[in-house]
């Protein structure tokens, strides 16, 4: 079964006009497909947006529709959710309820994913924590300052951030020469090249 869940018309200053139709279709395996079409009223070529299949949760339908509308140059407004949800309910009432709660459900999903990623990163760093904490003591802890006098951290802080980020991304300590270049919380640092061979050697000695 296929149902139209959203339709609207638009035009531009050149007096071209068009209509967008968005459809949700039951794929008969517990999943749903979302597609759309642009119908033009003149000779302009219609815009093509790829359909999305395998949608099993209302939040996924919300996300797919929001992405399609964004690609077409529009946005999914909060006051439209109930009306669209009523159309989706003709196919699946639970899916419709989830769709209307889409922003909240996606926010929770993202928060859970971030929590899992943080736990995974912590687990990776745990085995190297004592090595890293001891190694970075060789870097200066004196504040580095901009010309205006404000501080932007210390060599020790940025070296530690670089090593930790390297471990999270690669699962091992850095070895050989690397430029200490790192971004943390929107703040970035680009320092000198440092030879981390001794750090890798320390890891080997401890493991052996």
CA distances from 46 to 30, 35, 39, 133 (A): 31, 14, 6, 60
* 115: number of Cβ within 10 Å: 10
Q: List the end-to-end C-alpha distance of the chain, in Å, as a whole number.
A: 64
Q: For residue 149, what pLDDT is reported?
A: 74
Which residue is listed with tokens 């750090």? 199
- The predicted model scores a pTM of 0.64
In this predicted structure, which of 39-43, 124-128, 192-196 has the lowest mean pLDDT?
Answer: 39-43
In this predicted structure, which of 9-18, 131-140, 164-173, 199-208 has the lowest mean pLDDT?
Answer: 199-208
What is the tens place of the pLDDT at every residue in 58-108?
999 999 999 999 999 999 999 999 999 999 999 999 999 999 999 999 999
Q: Read off the pLDDT band of 43 (50, 70, 90).
A: confident
* 163: number of Cβ within 10 Å: 25
**Angle, CA of 81, 102 and 58, to the nearest 5°:** 95
In terms of Cβ atoms closer than 10 Å to its own Cβ (0-12, 13-18, 19+), residue 55 is buried
Q: For residue 204, what pLDDT is reported?
A: 54
Average per-residue pLDDT for the chain: 90
Q: Read off the pLDDT band of 156 (50, 70, 90).
A: very high
């Amino acid at each position: 079964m296929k149902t139209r869940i959203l339709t609207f018309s638009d035009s531009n200053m050149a007096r071209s006009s068009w209509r967008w139709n968005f459809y949700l279709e039951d794929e008969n395996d517990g999943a749903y497909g979302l597609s759309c079409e642009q119908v033009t009223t003149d000779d302009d070529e219609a815009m093509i947006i790829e359909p999305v299949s395998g949608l099993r949760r209302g939040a996924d339908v919300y996300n797919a529709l929001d992405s399609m509308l964004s690609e077409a140059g529009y946005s999914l407004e909060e006051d439209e959710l109930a009306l669209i949800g009523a159309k989706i309910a003709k196919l699946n009432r639970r899916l419709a309820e989830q769709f209307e709660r889409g922003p909240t459900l996606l926010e929770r999903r993202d928060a859970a994913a971030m929590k899992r990623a943080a736990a995974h990163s912590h687990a990776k760093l745990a085995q190297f924590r004592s090595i890293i904490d001891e190694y970075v003591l060789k870097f200066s802890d004196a504040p580095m300052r901009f010309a205006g006098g404000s501080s932007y951290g210390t060599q020790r802080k940025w070296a530690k951030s670089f090593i930790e980020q390297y471990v999270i991304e690669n699962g091992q300590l850095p070895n050989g020469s690397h430029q200490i270049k790192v971004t943390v919380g929107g703040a970035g640092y680009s320092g000198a090249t440092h030879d981390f061979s001794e750090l890798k050697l320390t890891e080997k000695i401890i493991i052996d």
